[in-house]
Structure 1
Amino acid sequence: MSAAEQISKLVPINSLGPDSINELLASTPIEEVSSGTMLFDEGDNDHQAIYLLEGEVQLSSESGTKRMIIGGQEDAKYALAQLKPRQYTGKTKSKASIIRVDGALLDRLITMEQAARSGGIVVEEYEGSADDWVMGLLRNEVFQKLPPANFNALLARLESVPVKAGQVIVKQGDPGDYYYLIQSGHATVARKHDTGKVGMLAEIGDGEGFGEEALLTGAPRNATVIMRTEGLLMRLAKQDFDALLKEPVVHWVSGDEVRAQVQGGAGLIDVRTEDEFKRGAIKGAINLPLYLLRLKANTLEPGRRYVVYCDSGSRSCAAAFLLAQRGFEASVLKGGLNALRGA
């Protein structure tokens, strides 16, 4: 029996289609564990759904309650001691096969399929399938942070926009009105400098987003985006972007919380300009101006938490969103340096 066939019988994985099951397996392979392996402790508040495929696991609680779960039997169709905090300690009593599923990923996959079945999103035809594109969203670090309800609502509110090569999608200096995702096609991001020269900042393609900075900061568009090819964009209005994406992704912290996070190993990033940084900054901070963040984010330490700040919190809000897109955990100093100065 294949791995996909094994997990397709588990609840609620059995509600997923083949593509979603393969997506689960890509991130959570089946593990072979030895007898006596501790899978979890009573009181754990993790985000995993752990399933027993083969072997035996004993569940025991401090109150003296014990249960034996045997792979292949009815009880094994359900995640082990799934109520959180966990009500039991789980330990293998024989060699066993298990799978640890990320609970948030499972929720998002179920949400996506139910939304598609209920007509929650209409995606126009292009080379590839709409399901492939939505699955691509689920791999995006930002969308992985969304509660399932937000992701479902976002799918329903995205509007499709066919585009042609050479078409200007957003223009530098215009107000921000939409956030865009490229379903198919390629675009160029360019910026006109004070000298009058136009410089290309980036080339973006399938699955990438743009336009968030103006929505997050309230400032005019800081670059122009022009389609290099024909394609299809999906756009989200500002009010929906704020409610569905900004609120869950951007985490605000106080000055005291910043100090605690830094003491715990977090890095400080000042996203103001180089000249502003030279005039005074928080001790220990590095300077990575917002306009350079897309290009320089790969110089940051993977897996490290960061706190970003500016004068007011506006630019740092945009910076935190950009970092989240690249897989970083980033908090924002609420009110920025202005709040610290007034404290």
Structure 2
Amino acid sequence: MAISLDVLASFAPFNTLSHEYLVQVAEKANLREVSKGTIIFKRGRPFPEKVYLVGGTVDLIDSSFQVSTINPASESRRSPLNITQPTQVSAVAKSDVTLLAVDSDFIDLVLAWSESSDEDVDTSGVSLHDDNDWMSSLLQSPLFSRLPPANIRQLFIRFSGHKVQADEVVIKQGERGDYFYVLESGSAMVMDTAGKILAALRPGNYFGEEALVGDTTRNATVKMITPGKIMRLKKEDFRELLQEPILKFVTADDLKNRAPELPAYQILDVRLPLERRMQSVPDSRNIPLNQLRNQLKNLDDAVTYVVTDDSGRRSDVAVHLLTQAGFDSCVLRNAAQYYGGI
């Protein structure tokens, strides 16, 4: 059942959104009919959606069994029934009711997009700021700050701009990667195959590099939320100008002869635990590649991370992720030769 934009805009915080963002929320919103006596949600439990009362009457019961009755005439019905997370009240349908439900994470993302991007994009999705804004964002990132100036000049020459529309899929999970992308204007979301939103993208954010570094298929889908403009770079140019200059290699001898005044190093093995069960470089730390992104916050930025090359392309992807996050990292060549010790 579809909901009208006027009804949607009667609720907070949707009343603060522009038309284009209201349309996006309306597409994600669900209207539900609930029978009298139904427990809508229970106190103290997490609930993934924000729920609003459209029609009927609902009782909200707190921990002291105090009851607040909400109906369409109540001023408080403009806010979600479950304001807090986890909920501090239980909600029971006192009559047959109609509810509006929207995923909480999606609401957070839409608010972030609208508050950070509305002034940056006109109705055609073209940036109203200087064209160099997206370039400045890139140059401030740890990944691009390590590039030689000549490479940076060539990168910006070889980027090509393309307008995109709301709901347009820029990259699709499972497809081969041909381009590296930067969002110049507009807003987008990163989703998995189930449609779960993994991240929000705003002007200056880049994406699509992991499939190029590892020569693998796309590991997520990127879909535009608003009209905008993307800058894209061919795979060959990405590898020549961005990947190869950043990818550094060391040998076991380099590590043995490492000057004492240089930062300490940690050897990382990004294979699965089963793969390294039989043999591995001594004193190496195992963080499988599929867990590395979540572990970045726990790493020490004063340490140089040396990734063993026995995981093939995964090693290159790991170094890219580490460098992108601002860590000093490199690849240990011929790691299998050092299973006996370094």
Please indicate, yes or no, whether the TM-score normalized by the shorter chain is above 0.5: yes
Task: Report how far residue 271 of structure 1 moved.
Answer: 1.7
What CA distance in whole angstroms lies between the structure 1 residues aligned with 2:297 and 2:270?
Answer: 15
Task: Report how far residue 145 of structure 1 moved.
Answer: 0.9
What CA distance in whole angstroms lies between the structure 2 residues aligned with 1:248 and 1:135?
Answer: 20
Map 1:11-30 → 2, pairs under 5 A: none
CA deviation map 1:16-54 (0-9, x unaligned): xxxxxxxxxxxxxxxxxxxxxxxxxxxxxxxxxxxxxxx
Task: Single out whichever of 251-260 and 227-236 deviates more from structure 2.
Answer: 251-260
2:190 corresponds to which letter in structure 1? V
Question: Could you tell me which residue of structure 1 aligns to residue 207 of structure 2?
Answer: 210
What CA distance in whole angstroms lies between the structure 2 residues aligned with 1:262 and 1:204?
Answer: 41
What CA distance in whole angstroms lies between the structure 2 residues aligned with 1:278 and 1:262?
Answer: 32
What CA distance in whole angstroms lies between the structure 2 residues aligned with 1:218 and 1:340?
Answer: 27
Task: Report how far residue 290 of structure 1 moved.
Answer: 2.1
Normalized against structure 1, the TM-score is what? 0.56
Q: 1:199 to 1:284 in 2, by over 3 A?
A: farther
1:301 corresponds to which letter in structure 2? D
1:285 corresponds to which letter in structure 2? S
Could you say what secondary structure the match of 1:246 adopts? helix
Question: Could you tell me which residue of structure 2 aligns to residue 186 of structure 1?
Answer: 187
Q: Is the 8 A contact 1:312 1:338 kept in 2?
A: no
Map 1:21-100 → 2, pairs under 5 A: none
Question: Could you tell me which residue of structure 2 aligns to residue 314 of structure 1?
Answer: 313
What CA distance in whole angstroms lies between the structure 1 residues aligned with 2:259 and 2:215?
Answer: 29
Question: Could you tell me which residue of structure 1 aligns to residue 287 of structure 2?
Answer: 288
Q: Is the 8 A contact 1:191 1:224 kept in 2?
A: yes
What CA distance in whole angstroms lies between the structure 1 residues aligned with 2:290 and 2:281?
Answer: 20
Task: Report how far residue 201 of structure 1 moved.
Answer: 3.5
Q: 1:187 to 1:270 in 2, by over 3 A?
A: farther
Q: Does 1:144 align with 2:145?
A: yes
Tell me, which stretches of 5 or more residues in structure 1 are unaligned? 1-123
What CA distance in whole angstroms lies between the structure 1 residues aligned with 2:337 and 2:196?
Answer: 35
Q: CA RMSD in A?
A: 2.8
What CA distance in whole angstroms lies between the structure 1 residues aligned with 2:143 and 2:178?
Answer: 20
Q: Is the 8 A contact 1:312 1:339 kept in 2?
A: no
Q: Is the 8 A contact 2:282 2:339 kept in 1?
A: no
What CA distance in whole angstroms lies between the structure 2 residues aligned with 1:156 and 1:334?
Answer: 33
Question: Could you tell me which residue of structure 1 aligns to residue 75 of structure 2?
Answer: none
Task: Report how far residue 188 of structure 1 moved.
Answer: 2.5
Task: Report how far residue 214 of structure 1 moved.
Answer: 1.4
Question: Could you tell me which residue of structure 2 aligns to residue 248 of structure 1?
Answer: 245
Map 1:135-174 → 2, pairs under 5 A: 135-174=136-175
Could you say what secondary structure the match of 1:321 adopts? helix
Q: Is the 8 A contact 1:212 1:318 kept in 2?
A: no
What CA distance in whole angstroms lies between the structure 1 residues aligned with 2:279 and 2:196?
Answer: 30
Q: Between the two proteins, what is the percent identity of the paired residues?
A: 38
1:217 corresponds to which letter in structure 2? G
Q: Is the 8 A contact 2:182 2:207 kept in 1?
A: yes
What CA distance in whole angstroms lies between the structure 2 residues aligned with 1:157 and 1:289?
Answer: 34
Q: Does 1:230 align with 2:227?
A: yes
What CA distance in whole angstroms lies between the structure 1 residues aligned with 2:241 and 2:140?
Answer: 17
Q: 1:179 to 1:260 in 2, by over 3 A?
A: farther
Question: Could you tell me which residue of structure 1 aligns to residue 325 of structure 2?
Answer: 326
Task: Report how far residue 179 of structure 1 moved.
Answer: 0.8
What CA distance in whole angstroms lies between the structure 1 residues aligned with 2:226 and 2:276?
Answer: 39
CA deviation map 1:281-311 (0-9, x unaligned): 3232222222333332121112321111352
Q: 1:217 to 1:262 in 2, by over 3 A?
A: farther
Q: Is the 8 A contact 2:134 2:183 kept in 1?
A: no
Q: Is the 8 A contact 1:313 1:334 kept in 2?
A: no
Question: Could you tell me which residue of structure 2 aligns to residue 305 of structure 1?
Answer: 304
Q: 1:259 to 1:213 in 2, by over 3 A?
A: farther
Task: Report how far residue 219 of structure 1 moved.
Answer: 1.7
Q: 1:129 to 1:308 in 2, by over 3 A?
A: same
2:203 corresponds to which letter in structure 1? D
Normalized against structure 2, the TM-score is what? 0.56
Q: Is the 8 A contact 1:185 1:231 kept in 2?
A: yes
Tell me, which stretches of 5 or more residues in structure 2 are unaligned? 1-124
Could you say what secondary structure the match of 1:225 adopts? strand
Task: Report how far residue 155 of structure 1 moved.
Answer: 0.6
CA deviation map 1:80-116 (0-9, x unaligned): xxxxxxxxxxxxxxxxxxxxxxxxxxxxxxxxxxxxx
